Amino acid sequence: MVTLWRDWLTENIVNLLKLNDRQISGLNLFKMGRKLTTMEYQDAVECSRRTAIRDLDDLLEKGVITRKGAGRGAHYVLDRKRAINVPIAP
């Protein structure tokens, strides 16, 4: 059995999610199969720790990434199975 992964994060979906430039840069790292800690994300997109946490929490809430582990051992990976939560315009 072979499982093929299709990139569900198309340009249209990313636009609907209203991601900022930092999140899009981080998303490209996640798409390459990287797992990132908060500090690695912070270094990669050159932001403060608080901004990194806010960005990652937003990506979690939107169903783009998943947190693995807890505390200092926690890291984030691209969620390849979850349905996304796209905000609906009023």
Chain segment 33-86, per-residue pLDDT in tens: 889 999 999 999 999 999 999 999 999 999 899 999 988 889 999 887 655 555
Whole-angstrom CA distances from 85 to 3, 48, 53, 75 are 24, 26, 19, 21
Range of the domain at 65: 11-78
Helix intervals (H) in the chain: 11-17, 21-31, 38-45, 49-61
In a domain? residue 85: no
In a domain? residue 37: yes
CB 64, CB 77: distance < 8 Å: no
Q: What is the CATH number of the domain that holds 72?
A: 1.10.10.10
In the structure encoding, which two tokens stand for residue 72, read together?
């200092």
In a domain? residue 70: yes
The pLDDT of residue 42 is 96
pTM: 0.78
In a domain? residue 38: yes
Task: Say how many domains are in the chain.
Answer: 1
Could you give the 3-state DSSP secondary structure of residue 66? strand
In a domain? residue 90: no
pLDDT of 5 above 90: no
In a domain? residue 4: no
